[in-house]
Amino acid sequence: MISAFIEKIPSWLRNKYVLCALVFVVWIVFFDDRDIITTHFRYKKELNSLEDSKQYYEKQIAATRAELSKLKSDPASLEKYAREQYRMKKDNEDLYIIRPF
């Protein structure tokens, strides 16, 4: 019975090299740590994450460019920015920094 079933399989499919290649392909596609299916979804997830961070950084760059153009055009905003960010002061002023607890 089994030999009759084996005889129905084409001879090229009974070749040990073809069988070895088929087992190898099945192993790589489905069972390996870096199989095609899992890797595809992992890379897709990473790509989505990178696209989200790209959008965030593009928004930050646009906001920084807008702030830079405002600082270049308005001396009052430049002084305010220097006082707030870099704690600069005029010669006749005292600067007190109060930190919340």
Residue with tokens 């005889």: 7
43-59 pLDDT per residue, tens: 899 999 999 999 999 99
Give 33-46 pLDDT, tens digit per residue. Answer: 777 778 888 889 99
pLDDT of residue 54: 98
Residues 86, 32: Cα–Cα separation, whole Å? 55
Tokens coding 25: 């392909």
Domain boundaries in the chain?
Answer: 1-32, 33-87
DSSP assignments along 48-93, one per residue: HHHHHHHHHHHHHHHHHHHHHHHHHH-HHHHHHHHHHHH----TT-
pLDDT in tens, 61-83: 999 999 999 999 999 999 888 88
Closest to 85 in 3D by CA, of 68, 62, 66: 68
